[in-house]
């Protein structure tokens, strides 16, 4: 996703008050710049709080503990996917292979631990195996897109299909049911009413935030999305960080597949389908834009919560659940349009 404009619209406004006199509308421009900045920084959180308040008023059951738990549970899987996507999106690339890799992850877990169909049982070694597989696919994505110089959109489109196909290929004749209770207990056992999956998701998110804020990889990811040529000229090994981002994404998607396996308890080669759209929407709504250089893990998590809350709330107030994807579709369009509104210019090329 290439945004043809590198300078921010707000900066252009400041630039314009320097030379040759005033803006046609003086103080109004300052206000607009301020508003735009505030909207970008705090908008999503405000939106989340606003949604919660709205739904609490509109639906009696919304503000209950049980519902709160339901929201958290529903958010666990998209959150993991969003974490993986975030680093890639910050770099202004994209990874569409979510559904394929997570389905593959689900299948691998289901056939590698004790199950009703295959004889293999490698126990908890399945976890690193799944993560490694996801990471390997991610690394491959990165390598192909960098060295064959192809847009990440296409490369990950291809690996999406390939991973989905691999998942189908590995699927045995009958649906394998997972017998290893250590896996399934992740979803079933509740601590303080919330399953281990949620705690795991929170832990991974916290780890990701630490990585984002304190490692060179994390800090550089946003910089790469903002101005890659300058970084290359400064001698930074941009390619390494790009490949790292895809690897992390692949690993996260595979973990999401593991979560799904724990939840549904069986192996399903199409279990990941339907994950992509909400996760991208969540990232974008939270502020991790497709154009790169913006957002972060915290923002993406807020975005996930917004989307899950929206879904949950709409059902509570009686909106036809079938319209869900329509609402989400409208939300994603509005969110992206609103976040880039101030950048619009006649000479800007957007494809």
Partner 1 sequence: MSSLSILSSPISRERLRRFVPFFVLVVTLIVLFNAAPGLMRWRAINSLMMDNAPMLLLIIGSTLPILIGCLDLSVAAMASLAAVSGALLSPMLGSFAGLAVVAGASLIGALQGYLIGRMQIPSFVMTLGALGIFNGAALALTGANMVGIGSGMWLFDSLAGRNFGISNMFLLVLAVVICLQVMLRFTRMGRNIYAFGSSELAVYVSGIRRDLVRSVAFGISAGCGALAGLMMLSQTQFANATIADGMLLPALVGVVVGGTAISGGVGSVVASLIGGIIAVLLRVGVTISSMPPSSQDIVFGVVILVAVALTTDRQKIGVVK
Partner 2 sequence: MTIALSLHGVEKRFGDVVALDNVNVSLHEGEVLGLIGQNGSGKSSLMKIMSGLYRPDGGEVRVGGKVVQLRSPLDAGRAGIGLVHQEQSLIGSLSVAENLFLDKPAAYARWGSYRWTAMKDEARRQLEKVELDIDPFTPLGDLSFGERQMVELAKVLTLEELVDGHLVILFDEPTAVLNPPEIEALFSQIRRIKHRSSVVFVSHRMDEILDISDRVLVMSDGRNVAEREKDKVNVDELYELMVGKQRIDRVARRPRDAHLGSSRVLEVENMSVPGEVHDVSFSMAPGEILGVIGVQGSGAESVLRTIFGMADRWSGSIRFDGKPLEIDAPSAAVARGIGYLPAERKTEGMVRNTSVSENAAITFGWQHAAGPGMVSRRREKAPIKDWVAKLAIKTPSIEHQIDLLSGGNQQKVVLSKWLLGNSLKLLMLDHPTRGLDPGARADLFAAIRELADKGLAILLVGDTLDEVLSLSDEIIVMKDGMISAHIAQVQQSPPSEEELVRAMV
Long-range pairs for 219-222: beta carbons < 8 A, 24 or more residues apart: 221/87, 221/90, 221/91, 221/245, 222/90, 222/91, 222/292, 222/293, 222/294, 222/296
CB of 219 to partner 2, least distance (A): 6
Measure the CA–CA gap between 95 and 144, rounded to whole angstroms.
13
Conformation bin of residue 296: beta by default, left when phi > 0, alpha when psi is -120 to 50: left
Q: Which stretch binds partner 1 (CB under 8 A): 67-75, 192-200, 255-263, 337-345?
A: 337-345
117 binds, among partner 1, partner 2, none (CB under 5 to 8 A by kind): none
Three-state SS for 221? helix
116 touches partner 2 by CB under 8 A = no
58 binds, among partner 1, partner 2, none (CB under 5 to 8 A by kind): none
Site for partner 2 in 187-216 (CB under 8 A): 214-216
Query: Which CB atom, from 33 or from 242, has the smaller least distance to partner 1?
Result: 242
Judge whether 290 and 162 are in contact, CB under 8 Å.
no
Measure the CA–CA gap between 173 and 117, rounded to whole angstroms.
8
CB of 231 to partner 2, least distance (A): 7
347 touches partner 2 by CB under 8 A = yes
* Alpha helix segments (H runs only) across 17-64: 26-58
230 touches partner 1 by CB under 8 A = no
Site for partner 1 in 125-164 (CB under 8 A): 144-146, 148-155, 157-164
Query: Which CB atom, from 207 or from 333, has the smaller least distance to partner 1?
Result: 333
Three-state SS for 227? helix
Judge whether 272 and 101 are in contact, CB under 8 Å.
yes
49 binds, among partner 2, partner 1, none (CB under 5 to 8 A by kind): none
Q: What are phi and psi of 292, to 5 degrees?
A: 90, 165
Measure the CA–CA gap between 299 and 286, rounded to whole angstroms.
5
Q: Which of 222, 263, 298, 311 binds partner 2 (CB under 8 A)?
A: 222
Q: Which of 7, 20, 24, 347 binds partner 1 (CB under 8 A)?
A: 347
Q: Which stretch binds partner 2 (CB under 8 A): 157-165, 227-235, 264-272, 282-290?
A: 227-235
Judge whether 197 and 260 are in contact, CB under 8 Å.
no
Site for partner 1 in 256-275 (CB under 8 A): 269
Q: In the beta sheet, which residues pair with residue 266?
A: 177
Query: Which CB atom, from 309 or from 339, has the smaller least distance to partner 2?
Result: 339
Query: Which CB atom, from 31 or from 341, has the smaller least distance to partner 1?
Result: 341
23 touches partner 2 by CB under 8 A = yes
Task: List interacting residues with partner 2 (CB under 8 A).
Answer: 8, 11-24, 214-217, 219-220, 222-223, 226-227, 230-231, 233-236, 293-294, 344-347
């Amino acid at each position: 996703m290439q945004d043809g404009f590198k300078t921010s619209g707000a900066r252009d406004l400041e630039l314009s008050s320097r030379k040759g006199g005033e803006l046609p509308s003086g103080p109004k421009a300052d206000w607009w710049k301020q508003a735009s900045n505030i909207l970008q920084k705090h908008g999503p959180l405000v939106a989340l709080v606003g949604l919660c308040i709205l739904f609490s008023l509109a639906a009696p059951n919304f503000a209950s503990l049980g519902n709160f738990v339901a929201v958290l549970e529903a958010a666990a899987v998209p959150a993991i996917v969003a974490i993986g996507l975030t680093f890639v999106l910050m770099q202004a690339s994209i990874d569409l292979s979510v559904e394929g890799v997570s389905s593959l992850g689900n299948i691998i877990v289901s056939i590698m631990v004790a199950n009703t169909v295959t004889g293999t049982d490698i126990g908890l070694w399945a976890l690193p195996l799944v993560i490694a597989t996801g990471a390997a696919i991610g690394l491959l994505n990165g390598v192909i897109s960098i060295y064959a110089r192809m847009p990440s959109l296409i490369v990950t489109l291809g690996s999406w299909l390939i991973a989905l196909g691999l998942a189908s290929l590995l699927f045995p004749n009958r649906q394998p049911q997972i017998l290893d209770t250590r896996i399934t207990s992740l979803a079933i056992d509740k601590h303080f009413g919330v399953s281990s999956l949620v705690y795991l998701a929170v832990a991974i998110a916290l780890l990701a935030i630490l990585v984002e804020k304190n490692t060179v990889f994390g800090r550089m990811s946003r910089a790469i999305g903002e101005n890659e040529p300058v970084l290359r000229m400064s001698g930074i090994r941009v390619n390494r960080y790009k490949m790292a981002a895809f690897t992390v994404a692949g690993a996260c998607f595979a973990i999401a597949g593991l979560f799904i396996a724990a939840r549904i308890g069986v192996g399903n080669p199409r279990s990941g389908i339907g994950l992509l759209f909400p996760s991208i929407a969540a990232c974008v709504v939270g502020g991790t834009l497709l154009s790169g250089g913006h957002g972060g893990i915290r923002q993406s998590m807020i975005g996930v919560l917004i989307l899950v809350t929206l879904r949950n709330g709409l059902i509570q107030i009686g909106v036809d659940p079938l319209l869900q994807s329509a609402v989400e579709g409208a939300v994603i369009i509005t969110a992206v349009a609103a976040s880039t509104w101030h950048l619009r210019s006649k000479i800007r090329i957007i494809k």
